[in-house]
Amino acid sequence: MPELPEVETVVRSLRGHIIGEEIRALRLTDFPGVLGGESLEQVNARVAGRTIRGIRRRAKYVVIELDDDTALVVHLRMTGRLSAVASGAPVQRHERLAIAFQSDRELRFSDQRKFGRVVHLHPVDLDALEQRLGREPLSPEFTPEWLLERLARRPGKIKAVLLDQGLIGGLGNIYVDEALYLAGIHPERSANSLAPAEVAAVYQAVREVLQAAVQNRGTTFSSFEDPEGNPGRYGARLLVYGRGGKDACPRCGTPLARTVVAGRGTSFCPACQPPPEAASGRGEA
């Protein structure tokens, strides 16, 4: 599933193509469910004639802001893709929705698995979404002190806690594995067992990994492409994600291990990331 760096890449790529465009109409292909339960007629009645004022990312969502303070909110889920094309371009493979503009351009949404959604939200619904999502990990409000205070309340496994979108918005399986490896923290450590220095290491690793991934336009394994059809470049820099049971630790040479945390396949180094029992004394220091 696209995570913060991939969604940020999509948003940055689309800014120069859709801001200022006036919506003529939305057009469906074969999957009405992409609109989240509303009919095409309902949505078109509200958005036709509206101008796109901005586009931003919130956690793993693309928020396309309209000039009446509503927004088209896109959740790419596993295989969703947005692209800006000429209005006469052929229907794309797995295309589910097109947003036609008054100009000669369209914004197309394609999605092989049909898990993604494009929903039109009023300000009250946008506020509700905002309240459900946690703090942005690349924002100034995300600080070591804030993270220490929040983790001290959470007895769950640190990886599961970091994946909680209600705590931190945008982190996913790839970048949590990478950040915990850089921080030297076992993914099954209790979040509230981390010492202040360990929390500071997690904070720094999260920021470092996400910033590098954004700079490299995300990670592509199978389906992620930016709106121009380019894959992400960060995959070549991954140190542990997906390598458990296959490769050796790039730092110490120990075989990487694999487990499951919060239902997610999890890779780590059993030497560089000591298990909870071995790290308990350090966590209490």
| Residues known to be catalytic | 2-3, 60, 264
Kindly compute the dihedral angle of the four CA atoms of residues 19, 20, 24, 29, in this order, to the nearest 10 degrees.
-10
DSSP 8-state code for residue 83: E
**Rounded Cα–Cα distance for residues 217 and 203 (Å):** 21
Measured CA distances, 178 to 86, 110, 267, 269 (Å): 38, 29, 9, 11
- Secondary structure letter of residue 5 according to DSSP: H
Helix, strand, coil percent content, the chain, rounded in steps of 5: 35, 25, 40
Tokens (6 digits) for 174: 């790839």
Angle at which helices 196-215 and 144-151 cross, to 10°: 120
82 DSSP β-pair partners: 109
Burial class (CB in 10 A: 0-12, 13-18, 19+), 128: exposed
Closest by CA to 23, choosing from 62, 64, 76, 83, is 64
For tokens 């994946």, what's the residue?
163
- Other residues' Cβ atoms within 10 Å of the Cβ of residue 285: 9
